[in-house]
Chains A and B, each alone.
Chain A
Amino acid sequence: MKRTIEPFWWSFFGAGGVVSALFLPVIILLMGLAIPLGWVSAPAYETLVELFRRPYSRLLLFGIISLSLFHWAHRFRFTLYDGLQLKHLNVLIAVMCYGTAAFGSLYALYVFIAM
């Protein structure tokens, strides 16, 4: 069998699938709905910034963001192949998907290291 790079992408897809399933629902519920709609009182800016600046918070947040993006990249690539029957655009789609995930991860890296 031909050696391919697919297992490499699949491992990111798998890890991202787990991380996004565990963390994103509660994050969306809190950040996108409960706090803006006033269901719960929003944490004070100082408390939140102190919490989010800790090294392990940065590492965890970076992991959630980057792995989620690579999960999207892999799954969306095959959605386009299968759903829209675009297998002939194989290379272009792969570059676009993994490129977006890589670009997002690099930007996240910049935010979590430099800011």
Chain B
Amino acid sequence: MNGFSRRTTSAYQTRTPIFWWIRKWTSVRFILRELTSVFVAIYAFMLLFFVRALYVGPEQYADFIVWLKSLFSIALSIISFLFVLFHAITWFNLAPKALIIRVGKWKVPDLMIVASNFLGWALVSSVVVWIILG
């Protein structure tokens, strides 16, 4: 069921140490990028609890806003924001590797795909701000 082959000969394999990635910046960056998903999940739950509080009623909502103002929530939001920003930038930059667009015989250049991603991101962000605050 899982897509992994189990052909490795474990008897002769030395185990890779847990912190194998800490010595090189590129591998630290790889692990940091992988960890962005943790903050994606945390904020997905934050958003869910926010909407839930909103649906329950004004008091629950006011309590949630008080919690959002706590030092813990602000710190969590700053860290989450930085990680999610890192996720968004790396995701949009890598998109041309996964997405090859052809118009007739002409391959759309990577830079154009990346640029349109960032443009779309700016557009979505502006629309969200406009809907919520407008």
Contact = CB atoms under 8 A, between A and B. Distances in A.
Given A49-B55, A111-B51, A36 B84 contact: no
Q: How big is the A interface, by class?
A: 35 or more
Contact of B81 (A33, A48, A82): A33
Interface in A70-84: 71-73, 75-76, 78-79, 82-84
B124 A28 contact: no
A98 to B, nearest CB: 12
B44 interface: yes
Given A25-B85, A79-B31, A108 B77 contact: no
Contact of B34 (A5, A20, A78, A104): A78
Nearest to B75: A32
B132 interface: yes
A79 B34 CA distance: 6
B128 A32 contact: no
Contacts, number: 174
B124 A31 contact: no
A114 to B, nearest CB: 9
B2 A31 contact: no
Contact of B43 (A18, A27, A40, A75): A27
A87 B3 CA distance: 12
B31 A83 contact: yes
B114 interface: no
Given A21-B92, A32-B43, A104-B44, 18 more contacts: A16-B40, A20-B87, A21-B121, A22-B88, A24-B43, A26-B124, A28-B80, A28-B84, A31-B68, A37-B74, A53-B55, A61-B47, A71-B40, A75-B36, A79-B31, A85-B17, A111-B55, A115-B56
